[in-house]
Structure formats: C-alpha cells, structure tokens
Chain A
Amino acid sequence: MLPVHHPRALWRAHGYLPVEVWGPPGTDATPAGAHLQPFLCSIPRCGLAFHLAGGLRDVDVVVVPHACDALQGLGSILTDLPPRPLPALTPYLPRATGEVAVAFLAAEIATLSTRLAEGSQRGPTADDLLAAALDEEAADAAFRALLDARPRISLSNAAFYEAVRSREYLPPAEFRAVAEVALAATGPVDGIPVLLSGIVPEPAGLLACLDRHGVRVVADDTACVGRRRYAPGTSTEPFRRMAEALGSGPPDTTRGSPLSERVAYVVALAAQTGARAALLAIPGSCDPELFALPVLRQALEAAGVRTLHLETDLSMPFTAQADTRVEALLESLP
C-alpha cells in the first residue's frame, strides 16, 4: 500500500494483509531513475526502486492510491507499462466534499472489491465487509486515543511513533494491544512541546534528532499519522461506511481540503497541545504540501508558534545540517 488514504477494511475482508510502504526510507532510489525523473519526490522513486530490487516479490497486489501527481505517475507506470509485472490497483480519492464525494468513493471501493474478488471462488459477503469495517473502526478509535494521550505518554518520540505507526501493518486487534501498552506508559513528561507536520516522520534520524535535543512531539499533523484520525462511518452498507470513514479525517492537502480549513485546524491543534514550535518535514517536490506551506507558516508564526521547514528525502539519511537547523530553532524559542 502506497500513501495515503485507503480502505484497510476492504483488503482485510478479502483476506489480504495490507502493509504500507512510505518510501520505504533508506532505499537507494537510483534504479528508479530509468522510469521516474529526479524532480519527483522521493516516495514514488523509493517505492519503485524497492520494487525493482525485488522488495515486493512476495506481494500479490500493489495499491497506489491517488494522492498527488507524483503517485499518479507511479500508479500509471505500474498499471500501463510495468517494468516488472505486478498487479496494481489505483483507487481515486475524491477531492470534492459532501454527499457527491461519499457516493463516488463508495462506488470506487465497490469497484475495487469486484476486482479483488475476480478469480477467487467467493468474495466476502456484505456481513464480512461490515464486520471488517467495524474492526478497523475499533482500531481507529485506539489510534485516536493514542494521539490524544500523547502529551501524557512518557515514551520517547521514536518509541511513540513505533507504536502509533504499527497501524500501518498490524491487524486491528494486534494494533489495539500495542496501543493499550503505549497508553499505559504514562508518567512524568518533559521536553519542548512541538507540532510535527508534513507527510511522514522520516527519515528515522528525524525522530532521533528530536529525542536528542529534548523535543517532545505533542501534536501530529503528518499525512501518515495525524491526518488519518478517521471517525467511524454511520451507514450499514459496508462500502459506504468505509467511504464515510475515509473522508472523515482532519483537513489534508492530499484530499484537497480547503486551505483555510487546514490552516485553522493546524493552528488550533498547536494551541490545544501547547506546541511552541512546528516542524514541517516535507519531502522535496511535494506539491500538495508546498503550495500550502507559506500560508501555513505565516498563520502559525502569527499565532506565536515558531516554524521550521525541513526538506526531507527518504532515500537519504537525516543530515547533520538539518540537525543543526533544529537545534537553532530550539535555541531561538523564547
């Protein structure tokens, strides 16, 4: 599963084990250069390079949700001119809002379900699909609880994100168990409270840097984590319910949320959690984030939250220069 939003319940109801690939970080993206230009962000380039190196050899299907022009390009290559054969699904995420978007997304998920059922003896029943949706909603509730409790959880940033991001591969029940353990880790907390925004808290050196400098991420607004705080659906029709949940997350650039809503949400999140600074970790060339960036920074600064834009590259380690910039930001805090 490539980023960002996708109906986890659907894959599970069809008996698939969904595992998300955000990069993966640390992949040498060079082999992807024969297919994708270097001016695309590192996520599709790392993803393709990983595939070309055989990283997806045990995978039955790759899902490339339509999050942006870059992933559209990758999805299109894998579907139309695959350099290495692998079935690809490319669901489209509506950027419109309201009933028209829910109806479209429900139909899109139904189409995916039909494709997944092709060739198998029997697809899941409506009851199976609804049960899977409810299971995921329970895991989503644990996920939200974990994010809400972050200011009180004594885990380091690296340990907290390891727990919260296990949602990207663990089945719902197992994730809930992990969340319960993390939620129990309450105790005295300290550190400079910051908000982390951007796409994904990678490369890993980023969190290590924050831990080293005594920074505590109290609020998450990354597409990978905080923007996937899905609320439960309400419909009893499973595809529609999945669509309702997917469209319920906080404002997100990859869902085309209006800029004013997004800015208001992030500023309020910083205020609620007492974040003193905001780190915006954005992969280079990420159009959805880069359009919003100047407006978001201005609004945060106006609200008294210092900002730092860190351009990330998932194919590279976190740099010493970026480390120094984080340090400088912290020193500048009043």
Chain B
Amino acid sequence: MTLYASVRHGLAVTGGRAVLGVVRWRDTFRRPRAHPHLAPPLRSGVRLKELIARHYLKGRTASSAVPVAWVTSGAPVEPLVALGYHVHYPENHGAICGIRRVAEDLCTAAESAGWSRDLCSYARTDLGVVLTGRTPVGRLPRPDLLVCCTNICQTVLGWYQVLAERFGVPMALVDTPFLYGTAPPHALTYVERQIEVLVEAAERAAGRTLDPGRLHAVTRRSKDACTLWREVVDRARHRPSPITAFDTFVHMAPIVEMRGEACTVDYYAALLEELDGRVARGEGALLEEQVRLAWDNLPIWPRMRWLSDRLAARGAALVASPYARAWGELADLIDPERPVASAARVYLHPILNLGIGQRLAALRALARDCQVDGVLLHSDRSCRPWSSGQADIRDRLVREDKIPALLLEADHSDPRAFSEAQASARIDAFLEGLGA
C-alpha cells in the first residue's frame, strides 16, 4: 500500500460519493417513463444504482491503496470486509457485462486466447476482461488475493487457478463438500479449518491482523442484511406481488457484493419499507397480475428486459426464484458470536451445494408459498451445476405437483446461446396453456 495511492483513493471516493449523491438526488425527482404493463419502478432503484456505482468507483483506485480481493460469489467474505479489503466479485461484474451487452465481445476475446466456448460465460467474460482490460465500469482493481469457494461449482476452481497464474497472487481455497442433506461433522471441520487458513492468508496479503470485534460486527451486519433480504423476497407471497423476480435479480447485488457493510443493511430496510407500502396499498409490480410464475436458475442477463416485457404484456408475474432467495435462506445459520464456526455451516449450505432432491423441495416450497401457476426453468448451458437435474425436477413438478413447467434453453450471459424466436414461441405456448 502506498501513501500516494491512499490519498488518491480517499479523494476519489469522497469526490465520487458527492457526485453520486447529486445524481441520486436528481434521479429521485425524475418522473419514470410509464410502462403499459408494469408499475413504476421501485424508488429504491435510485439508491441501488448509487450503491453499485460507488462500489465500482471505489474499485477504480483501490489498487495499492487498500488490499484487494477477487472472490467467488459464495465465498466467506466477512473476514475480508473486517480486514478492510475492497472485494471484487467477477461473477457480479460478469452480470453487469451481460446486462450491458458487452459479454459476447469479452467471451470472444477469451475464446481467441484458447478458452473453450463450452466454459461458463462468467468465466469467459472475466478472462476476456483480464486479457483486454475492457470493462463497462471503467477499471477493475488488481487483486492482492483470490478467494475461491467451491460451494457454487467446481468451475470456479479452474477459473481462479487461471487468475492466480495470470496475476501471480495467492489463491485461498475454501473447498466445500457437496451435500445431500445437512453437513456431516467432518465436512464442517474441513471447511472451518480452511476458513482459518483463509484468514491467515488474508492477514498476510493485507499486512494487518484481524480484529475479532470487527469480525463480530461485520458478521452481525451480514446476518441482518440476509434476514432483511429474505423478508424482501418473501413479500412476493402477497397477491398482487409488490416485487418481481426480475427486480430481485437486480436488487440482490448488494447482498452478494456488499455483504457485511452497513449500507447494505440500511438499503434493504428501506427497500422493505417501500414494498410494505405497496402491499398496504394493494399495488403490484404488474398493473394487472393474471398468472404467477417462478424461475429456476440464473437470469438471462442480456434478455431480462425483453423477457420481463413479454411476460408482463400477458399479465404473467414472475414472482419468485430460488436463485435470488438463496442469499436469505442461510440468515438463521449466521452466528456473530461464533463467526468462523458458523461461517463453515453457512457457506456449506447454499442451495447450489445441495443435491437436486433439496433443490426440488426448495422449488416446491417456493411454488406453494408464492402460489405460482407455473415454473420456468432456465436450462443454462453455462451453468452445469444448476442445470443438471432440471429435466427430472420439471418432470416431478408436472407429474407429482401438477404444476406446469417449461424448460427454456439459454445462457446467463452469452447471447449466442439464445434464440429469441424459439424462446418466444415456447413461452407464448406455455402462457396460453396457463390461460394468460
């Protein structure tokens, strides 16, 4: 860390904060464009935009000013936040690239360098960013440490090993055995020991010692934010639903990349209040909610608006998704009094680390609680762990639960794996079957 970099970072963050505050103030008074089928966007979206912009702005000047870690989305991040790291999430950045429609170019750059088109498009996007330096957020900070947790997939391990090679920085691995039920004691011990090693590696890379009081506070904030987030997604149980799954895909950004920060807790408290206002007034996210749907797997980032409009035009409200809910489900397991031991349990149990029997159970519970009329399963060619087993899940939903379900082939970021004509025809036929 250098003095020059720290001063520059401090000035950039303070100045940026002021500018973004003005932008938020301006946007607050801007009248949103009316949509023929959707309610006006959530007002909290303005604050969300500011939070995300602030996060990436901080990242621009973070190198050499504060320690920087690149981490997988399901990594135990609390010790890093407590140590003052700037934490960058390549998957979230990949989603931004998908939404801004630059993922294809970045994927192509990675493919030209030899990485197969069969690999996850988040990984290809990120490798493309590293190779070309191109990003829609201006500039990314160089990592001092990589943290790879396998609780979402093994794909991240191959990906982060390439990053470790490329950047020549240490990679801390938190390997989480795949579970069929709750974690056995030896799996908990295995993960807890690795988190202890992660803390040591993070302390070394940062040149600081972890303050237990700070870790307690950060873990408490993670728990509060996860609890609030669960409340947010659960508001979709109301009819009409005040929030769509599309909203949750966007509003989940802070719970993923700003977990453990005070602004995240405040943000979700405000969002919840806004949703409760909608519920009290009987307002839905759709002007006219005729049928309710659930979504399985990641969103199709580049086509989210298209899909949202298409569904809304027919009165179909996409109200729930296990993907977005995952961040709230583990709130009860987080124990600030035992931050490392409880982190082992928490980070072993995200839905992607559980067998498909549990994924089916989660989808069933969501379908019941949110009273959905049908399920759209995104067969995401990039995400093998989430997509494997979807055909059987669909089959059980249709046969045993009598819930109509449709498998939709696409990719969460790479638009080349999506056929609009085919998807339109399938969605329209499905909605017709539901009477929408």
A81, B190: Cβ atoms closer than 8 Å: no
A77, B356: Cβ atoms closer than 8 Å: yes
Chain A 65-80 per-residue mask, 1 if CB under 8 angstroms from chain B, else 0: 0101110111111011
B158, A295: Cβ atoms closer than 8 Å: no
Query: A134-142, A170-178, A199-207, A282-290: which one contacts chain B?
Result: A282-290
Taking CB atoms, residues of chain A closer than 8 Å to B154 are 68-69, 72, 95, 256, 287-288
Knowing A83-B392, A100-B190, A103-B190, say if A287 contacts B180 (CB, 8 Å).
no
Give complex CA distance A70, B381 in Å. 12
Chain A 236-267 per-residue mask, 1 if CB under 8 angstroms from chain B, else 0: 00000000000000000100101110000000
A256, B384: Cβ atoms closer than 8 Å: no
Knowing A76-B388, A290-B118, A295-B165, say if A94 contacts B186 (CB, 8 Å).
no
Give complex CA distance A94, B176 in Å. 8
A80, B356: Cβ atoms closer than 8 Å: yes
Give complex CA distance A298, B114 in Å. 10
Taking CB atoms, residues of chain A closer than 8 Å to B358 are 80
A80, B118: Cβ atoms closer than 8 Å: no
B114, A293: Cβ atoms closer than 8 Å: yes
B388, A72: Cβ atoms closer than 8 Å: yes
Knowing A69-B388, A256-B175, say if A290 contacts B116 (CB, 8 Å).
yes
Measured CB to CB, the closest approach of chain A to B105, in angstroms, equals 19
At the interface, yes or no: B328 with Cβ under 8 Å from chain A? no
Taking CB atoms, residues of chain A closer than 8 Å to B392 are 35, 77, 81, 83
B186, A103: Cβ atoms closer than 8 Å: yes
Q: Which residue of A lies closest to B161 (CB)?
A: A259
A96, B391: Cβ atoms closer than 8 Å: no
Measured CB to CB, the closest approach of chain B to A89, in angstroms, equals 11
B162, A295: Cβ atoms closer than 8 Å: yes
B391, A291: Cβ atoms closer than 8 Å: no
Interface size on A, residues (CB 8 A): 49
Interface size on B, residues (CB 8 A): 50
At the interface, yes or no: A92 with Cβ under 8 Å from chain B? yes
Knowing A96-B190, A259-B165, A287-B155, say if A80 contacts B177 (CB, 8 Å).
no
A256, B360: Cβ atoms closer than 8 Å: no
Taking CB atoms, residues of chain A closer than 8 Å to B157 are 95, 256, 288
Give complex CA distance A104, B379 in Å. 33
Chain A 299-315 per-residue mask, 1 if CB under 8 angstroms from chain B, else 0: 00000000000000000
At the interface, yes or no: B385 with Cβ under 8 Å from chain A? yes
B385, A292: Cβ atoms closer than 8 Å: no
Taking CB atoms, residues of chain B closer than 8 Å to A259 are 161-162, 164-165
A95, B173: Cβ atoms closer than 8 Å: yes
Measured CB to CB, the closest approach of chain A to B135, in angstroms, equals 21
Knowing A83-B392, A294-B113, say if A94 contacts B159 (CB, 8 Å).
no
At the interface, yes or no: A330 with Cβ under 8 Å from chain B? no
At the interface, yes or no: B194 with Cβ under 8 Å from chain A? yes
Knowing A39-B118, A81-B360, A260-B165, say if A66 contacts B175 (CB, 8 Å).
no
At the interface, yes or no: B214 with Cβ under 8 Å from chain A? no
Q: Which residue of B lies closest to A297 (CB)?
A: B114
At the interface, yes or no: B430 with Cβ under 8 Å from chain A? no
A74, B186: Cβ atoms closer than 8 Å: no
Measured CB to CB, the closest approach of chain B to A30, in angstroms, equals 14
A287, B119: Cβ atoms closer than 8 Å: yes
A-B contact count (CB 8 A): 161
Knowing A80-B180, A81-B392, say if A285 contacts B186 (CB, 8 Å).
no
Q: Which residue of A lies closest to B396 (CB)?
A: A81
Give complex CA distance A10, B175 in Å. 24
At the interface, yes or no: A215 with Cβ under 8 Å from chain B? no
Residue in A66, A74, A77, A297 with the greatest tally of chain B CB atoms within 10 Å = A77
A291, B115: Cβ atoms closer than 8 Å: yes
Give complex CA distance A111, B187 in Å. 11
Knowing A108-B186, A294-B114, say if A96 contacts B155 (CB, 8 Å).
no
Partner of B115 from A66, A68, A294 at Cβ < 8 Å: A294
Give complex CA distance A26, B11 in Å. 64
B161, A95: Cβ atoms closer than 8 Å: no
Q: Which residue of A lies closest to B162 (CB)?
A: A291
At the interface, yes or no: B387 with Cβ under 8 Å from chain A? yes
**Which residues, 36 to 55 on A, are CB-close (under 8 Å) to B?**
36-37, 39-40
Knowing A94-B175, A103-B190, A111-B186, say if A292 contacts B119 (CB, 8 Å).
no
A39, B180: Cβ atoms closer than 8 Å: no
B165, A104: Cβ atoms closer than 8 Å: no
A293, B116: Cβ atoms closer than 8 Å: yes
At the interface, yes or no: A90 with Cβ under 8 Å from chain B? yes
At the interface, yes or no: A34 with Cβ under 8 Å from chain B? yes
Give complex CA distance A59, B10 in Å. 66
At the interface, yes or no: A107 with Cβ under 8 Å from chain B? yes
A37, B162: Cβ atoms closer than 8 Å: no
A37, B388: Cβ atoms closer than 8 Å: yes
Knowing A77-B388, A287-B119, say if A104 contacts B161 (CB, 8 Å).
no
At the interface, yes or no: B153 with Cβ under 8 Å from chain A? yes
Measured CB to CB, the closest approach of chain B to A37, in angstroms, equals 6
**Which residues, 336 to 381 on B, are CB-close (under 8 Å) to A?**
355-358, 360, 379, 381
At the interface, yes or no: B222 with Cβ under 8 Å from chain A? no
Measured CB to CB, the closest approach of chain B to A106, in angstroms, equals 8
Chain A 268-292 per-residue mask, 1 if CB under 8 angstroms from chain B, else 0: 0000000000000000110110111
Taking CB atoms, residues of chain A closer than 8 Å to B175 are 94-96, 256
**Which residues, 298 to 340 on B, are CB-close (under 8 Å) to A?**
none
Partner of B356 from A40, A69, A76, A297 at Cβ < 8 Å: A76
B391, A92: Cβ atoms closer than 8 Å: no
Knowing A92-B177, A108-B186, A111-B186, say if A39 contacts B384 (CB, 8 Å).
yes
Taking CB atoms, residues of chain B closer than 8 Å to A90 are 178, 180
At the interface, yes or no: B413 with Cβ under 8 Å from chain A? no
Taking CB atoms, residues of chain A closer than 8 Å to B120 are 287
Knowing A39-B118, A108-B186, A284-B118, say if A79 contacts B357 (CB, 8 Å).
yes
Knowing A100-B193, A291-B161, say if A72 contacts B385 (CB, 8 Å).
yes
Give complex CA distance A258, B155 in Å. 14
Q: Which residue of A lies closest to B194 (CB)?
A: A96
Give complex CA distance A72, B119 in Å. 17
Knowing A40-B388, A100-B190, say if A92 contacts B357 (CB, 8 Å).
no
Taking CB atoms, residues of chain B closer than 8 Å to A287 are 118-120, 154-155, 158, 384
**Closest 8 pairs (CB-CB, A-B):** A73-B388, A291-B158, A294-B114, A80-B357, A107-B186, A92-B177, A104-B190, A259-B161
23 contacts between A and B (CB under 8 A): A35-B389, A36-B391, A39-B118, A73-B387, A77-B356, A79-B180, A80-B357, A80-B358, A81-B392, A92-B187, A95-B154, A96-B173, A100-B193, A104-B177, A104-B190, A256-B150, A256-B161, A258-B171, A285-B384, A291-B158, A291-B159, A294-B113, A295-B162
Besides A83-B392, A294-B114, 18 other CB < 8 A contacts? Answer: A70-B384, A72-B385, A75-B178, A79-B355, A80-B356, A80-B389, A95-B157, A96-B194, A100-B193, A100-B197, A108-B177, A108-B186, A287-B384, A288-B157, A290-B115, A291-B115, A291-B159, A294-B115
